Amino acid sequence: MNNYKIVLDAGHGGTDGGASGNGIVEKDLTLAISKYMYDLFNELDVPVTMTRTTDETLSPSQRVERILAAYGNSPDVIVISNHINAGGGEGQSVTNKCITIKA
């Protein structure tokens, strides 16, 4: 069994709405997706937390602070930052970035 912990980052929020179109605002959709994922991880007994659970503005440094506050800077922590692309195209897009954050 693994010991992974998950931090879900709902992209944008508050005064930063992100992309919008057809009545959809990115900050609202990323929050809904993150809450859905949170519930699923909880059902699987995977430790999980979110950087935001409401429509609030977070600076990049505040996001990092919340990520580190959740489970620290450990290789067993997975951070999933949800965003919705506004451009054309079809299907899914996954961007994989790995960074080390010094606490």
pLDDT tens-digit map of 12-46: 999 999 999 889 899 999 999 999 999 999 999 99
pTM, 2 dp: 0.85
CA distances in angstroms from 62 to 59, 69, 84, 92, listed in the order given:
5, 10, 21, 28
How far apart, in whole angstroms, are the C-alpha atoms of residue 88 and residue 103?
38
Fold of 5-82: Aminopeptidase (3.40.630)
59-63, 83-87, 89-93, 99-103 — most confident range = 59-63
How far apart, in whole angstroms, are the C-alpha atoms of residue 84 and residue 37?
15
Stretch 35-61: mean pLDDT, rounded? 96
Stretch 73-89: mean pLDDT, rounded? 85
- Locate the domains of the chain by residue range: 5-82
